[in-house]
């Protein structure tokens, strides 16, 4: 086995130090870049975009008590505190967790909608309805 020389040790330490400096510099520089805060339509990515999700969205639009257009859905959803917080975050994982927590709060408060025999929170029914409306427009 080869011996570890001083030159190899110093070279390795230098490469690690340069990497740490580049990473740290990048992190500091990124703090000054304005962030693109997602809008209401970015939350629609949380709703499933498959046949079942679209069917739920169409049925939710026909259910009483839910808004039937995108502007009304946006106003209704952004009135909820965790949804407002989800809109203010850039992290998709945090956004998804906040929406799930809002759905749990809906169930706890009794804000539910029955869609074709399924009991859904108003938030998830509204997101599926929004997804359905958004795909009709596009």
User: What single DSSP character describes residue 110?
Assistant: T
Per-residue model confidence as pLDDT tens digits over 32-87: 655 555 566 667 677 777 778 788 888 888 888 788 888 888 888 889 989 888 88
Give the CA-trace dihedral at 55, 61, 63, 64, to 10 degrees: 170
pLDDT tens digit sequence for 11-23: 898 898 888 888 8
Q: At what angle do helices 92-109 and 81-88 cross, to 10 degrees?
A: 180
Q: How does 123-135 read in b/e, with b if 16+ C-beta sit within 10 Å?
A: bbbbbbbbbbbbe
pLDDT tier at 105 (50, 70, 90 boundaries)?
A: very high
């Amino acid at each position: 086995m080869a011996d570890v020389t001083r030159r190899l040790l110093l070279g390795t330490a230098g490469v690690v130090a340069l990497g740490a400096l580049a990473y740290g510099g990048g992190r500091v520089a990124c703090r000054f870049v304005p962030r693109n805060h997602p809008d209401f339509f970015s939350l629609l990515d949380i709703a499933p975009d498959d046949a079942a999700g679209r069917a739920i969205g169409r049925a939710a639009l026909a259910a009483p008590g839910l808004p039937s257009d995108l502007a009304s859905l946006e106003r209704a959803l952004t009135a909820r505190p965790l949804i407002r917080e989800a809109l203010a975050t850039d992290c998709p994982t945090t956004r998804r967790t906040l929406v799930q927590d809002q759905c749990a709060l809906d169930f706890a408060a009794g804000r539910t909608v029955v869609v074709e025999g399924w009991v859904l929170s108003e938030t998830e029914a509204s997101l599926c309805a929004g997804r359905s409306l958004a795909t009709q427009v596009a």
